[in-house]
Amino acid sequence: MSQWKGIKSFKIVLLIMVVFILGMTIGLVKSHKVSAVSNGMYEDLKVFTDVLGLLQKEYVEEKNSKDLIYGAINGMLETLDPHSAFMPPNAYKEMQEETRGRFEGLGIEITFKEGILTVVSPIEDTPAFRAGILAGDQILKIDRELTKSLSLMECVKRLRGPKGTKVTITIMREGFTKPKDFTLIRDVIPVRSVRHELLEKNYGYIRISQFQEKTASELDNHLKALEEESKGALKGLVLDLRNNPGGLLDQAVKVSDRFIESGLIVSVEGRKEDQKMKFSAHSQGTLSPYPLVVLINGGSASASEIVAGAIQDHGRGILLGTQTFGKGSVQTIFSLKDGAGLRLTTARYFTPNGRSIQAKGITPDITVKPLLPEEEKITPVPKQPMEKDLERHLIDMEKEPPKEKEKPKKEEVKEKQPVDNQRERALELLKSWEIFKKLAKENK
């Protein structure tokens, strides 16, 4: 009798935790609602609760019920795409702090590629960046513990920690004969979402490293500063989205809106009608239509691909660099009752021309590969992981053959360039733009 009561109570707990009505609130945390359970699902859940009861009664060691249920939830999410994840209360709190621009750790974006923990990109001016951690590095161990046996959230938890504490990660890189240990000291990671620089002769440079809660307003402040520094004579802008792993969709839409006067920016499509949305540009707040070059690479993902795709489809600027990551899905954050969170892939997004970039990425108008420093030429940089390389990634679903605008002919740059040859090439393009504009006036 007592066993039946225990099993029955677990059924009630489980039903509360796993049944949701999914809604779409981009960039906001949303609480879940309980839905009716079908007879088929109830039978499946009965098998699960039977196993849960047997574990508690028969397993050789006593187990905490919350640990078992959290483990079961993680197991469920392992059957979905790699961007869906369960976050225990502590991890959920850290995620919320990160979107506000501050956390403590090493400063790297990570994912699993073919079952191996892999660096997507290091964040500028962080312990990982300064130690020379590269995109594509494989993290085999964290403090001598194999990462292959850990979940992504468990790896994140082990890499983060209080400022001043040490962590040793074992890295395997293409060109290494054996894995190498890197001992890093954790620090506060104040992710600066936006920074700027005035380049020679009134050309501006804006770097967006991540899309956080205040990215759009920060962009406005930096653009205003550029206008003041150039005495109102800004002739062109380089927008750097390289190694930008994404962030909040609403901020990506607002940033795109600054450069596009009208028309569709991005469309979002999920299984339900209320998950289908279209975001359009507004003329109010649109910047002056000065020449624009957008820098992208394999570390440009998700929200940064939305911005790049919108600018490319509207012909507002030139995309320069290498193929982007190819993450064309949207994640919604659900807040659970015990303080935990659920990050769930709920929709796909499409560029203004109807392109899905899922597992394909965005191709630049002009391909310019980065030039390696002399000391790195001996050791090849590992191939950067793309969305299509991730286990369980969503299959591309193109709505219809897109009507793409004619793009400038792609070209490969092989001549010797400065270290950041991509930025230098972007500046050259802006200068050429100004020269051709003058020639057109003279020949009228």
Residues noted as catalytic: 302, 313, 327
Q: Position of tokens 């997507």?
A: 120
Two structure tokens written together for 435: 């020269």
Check if the beta carbon of residue 220 is closer than 8 Å to that of residue 213: no
Residue 96 CB partners (closer than 8 Å, separation 6+):
29
Can you tell me the distance from the alpha carbon of 105 to that of 186, in angstroms, rounded to the nearest whole number? 5
Residue 99 CB partners (closer than 8 Å, separation 6+):
212, 213, 247, 248
